[in-house]
A = this chain, B = another copy of it.
Amino acid sequence: MKLAKRIGNIKPSAIRAVGKKITAIDNCISFAAGLPDPALFPSKEMKEVTDCLLTEKPHIALQYGMTKGYAPLIAKIVNDLNGRNIDCNVANIQMTTGSQQGISFVGMAFLDPGDVVLTENPTYLGALAAFRPYEVILKGVDSESDGMKMDALEDALKNNPRTKLIYLVPTFSNPSGRTWSIDKRKAVIQLANQYDVVIIEDNPYGDIRFEGEHLPTLKSLDTEERVVYLGSYSKILCAGLRVGYICAEQNLVQKIEIIKEGADLQTNQLAQMQVDELLEKIDLDAHIGKVISAYKEKRDLMMACIEKYFPKNIKYTCPEGGMFLWLELPEKMDANVILDKSLLQKVGFVPGGPFFPEGNNENTIRLNFSTTPKNNIEPGIKILGRVLDEAG
């Protein structure tokens, strides 16, 4: 049995490896996961709408449906995006199994072996995993608090004529928690136009803003239909249902529909109907408001604890939304060594190195604040602070 060449490129998720270590330790405080807080799932309403669907429409909910997706939900998505100044219609939407599948399908649509994908430094690990099977070159572009360094991006585009995609999480990034400024949003669109590349805008966290003004999505600033927007209900409703979507130029969406047909026929039909009915039933803005206030409370607590317990040589981001913050340790400190020490004291996190497509940067750490129970935050950060202090 001879595996395909591409299999040499794939590797298991570093997060899941840390997760296994943490699970093996009793009562470990974990800042490693990237999960929504399950206490915020609209479980009661989900039960009600599901009961209704399985009583009234089981012949639709449990049957094969359209590859494109469940039409009433698509109509709601179009309406929602139009309200966010994204000019689109039904022909621009394809439902996917979470936005993860969207990344993978855009990779399949565009990437030949040897092509280049540019990402932020650091970037979402799952995107790297999605692109690797297409035998591409992944290049990280250095980023600062308001987005990529634009001169570094332009250099990367100049030096890599085979660049096909720029993958971005411009709002409350996973892992860094950073958000792109409006100026850089406009600038990246301009560069994409100039160098004829496609931007993937992955936006699972955009609605979870604790403070400050909402900024326009890249898709709403798109002048040549070259932004592929990926949306998801995983972070604002619930993750396990795996309902996400692509909004993109319609010819591309047609190709992706054909890819989807071969890949898995369609996204779970009941799940799409559950989301659709839930959007009818609940006040989504009020629900998101609850998520925001719960996560803001945790972020505030985590920031306060970091200020109190961390040594002064640790740099950190203060995210205006989302689920993550990002630590930079002194250059010679190795987050993997810190992790081993902190696990001995039952505190876990994800070292930041794997979030850089070209490696290195082992002196970085991702901390999640959405999943950890509130009363674990202070004791966990206190221990981590001591470990960092002793190492430094």
Residues of chain A having any CB pair with chain B under 8 Å: 1-7, 10-13, 16, 35-36, 38-39, 41, 43, 46-47, 50-51, 54-55, 58-65, 67, 96-98, 100-101, 104, 108-112, 115, 126, 129-134, 164, 196, 198, 226, 234, 238-242, 249, 252, 255, 257-259, 261-271
Cα of A253 to Cα of B264 in the assembled complex, Å: 18
Bound-complex Cα distance A115 to B50 (A): 45
Task: Specify the chain B residue showing the minimal Cβ separation from A102.
Answer: B264
Complex: A252 Cα to B132 Cα, angstroms: 17
Nearest first, the 7 closest Cβ-Cβ pairs linking A and B are A240-B269, A43-B58, A129-B262, A62-B238, A38-B59, A47-B54, A97-B264
**Contact B252 A1, beta carbon cutoff 8 Å:** yes
A261, B129: Cβ atoms under 8 Å?
yes
The reply to whether A133 and B47 form a contact with Cβ atoms under 8 Å apart is: no
Cβ contacts under 8 Å, A252 to chain B: 1, 3
CB pair A262–B63 under 8 Å, yes or no, is: no
A4 and B110 within 8 A (CB): yes
CA distance A234 to B110 in the complex (A): 31
Q: A51-B51, A126-B262, A265-B100 are in contact. Are A61 and B240 (CB under 8 A)?
A: yes
Across-interface contacts of A16 in B (CB, < 8 A): 67, 261
CB pair B4 A239 closer than 8 Å: no
A241 & B112 in contact (Cβ 8 Å cutoff): no
Question: In the complex where A4-B111, A101-B263, A261-B126 touch, is A62 in contact with B39 (Cβ < 8 A)?
Answer: no
Are A261 and B98 interface neighbours, CB within 8 A?
Answer: no
Closest Cβ of chain B: how far from A381's Cβ, in Å? 24
A132-B108 Cα distance, complex, nearest whole Å: 12
A68 to chain B, nearest CB (A): 10
Can you list 6 A-B contacts (CB < 8 A)?
A: A1-B249, A4-B111, A43-B59, A64-B234, A65-B240, A240-B269
Residue in B46, B54, B242 whose beta carbon sits within 8 Å of that of A58 in the complex: B46
Contact B1 A196 (CB under 8 A): yes
Compute how far the CA of A96 lies from the CA of B104 in the bound complex, rounded to whole angstroms: 16
| A10→B101 contact, CB < 8 A | no
Chain B residues whose C-beta falls within 8 Å of the C-beta of A6 in the assembled complex? 108, 112
For residue A39, which residues in chain B have a CB less than 8 angstroms away from its CB? 59
Interchain CA distance A261-B13 in the complex, whole Å: 8
Q: How far is the CA of A287 from the CA of B317 in the complex (A)?
A: 56
Distance to closest chain B CB from A352 (angstroms): 19
User: A55 and B47: CB pair below 8 A?
Assistant: yes
Across the interface, A54 reaches (CB within 8 A) one of B11, B43, B266, namely B43
Count chain B CB atoms within 10 A of each CB in A43, A96, A133, A263 and give the residue with the most.
A263
Q: How far is the CA of A238 from the CA of B271 in the complex (A)?
A: 14
Could you tell me the distance between the alpha carbons of A5 and B258 in the complex, rounded to whole angstroms?
Answer: 15
> Do B100 and A264 touch (CB < 8 A)?
yes
Given known contacts A7-B255, A54-B50, A259-B133, is B264 in contact with A101 (CB within 8 Å)? yes
CB distance from A166 to the nearest CB of B (A): 13
Contacts A4-B109, A98-B265, A241-B270: A38 and B62 contacting too (C-beta < 8 A)?
A: yes
Q: Which residue of B lies closest to A131 (CB)?
A: B262
Beyond the given pairs A6-B108, A43-B54, A63-B238, 8 more chain A to chain B contacts, judged by CB atoms under 8 angstroms and listed by A's residue number, are A2-B196, A4-B109, A5-B112, A38-B58, A43-B62, A97-B267, A97-B268, A130-B262
A262 to B41, CA, bound (A): 25
Residues on B with beta carbons closer than 8 Å to the beta carbon of A65: 240
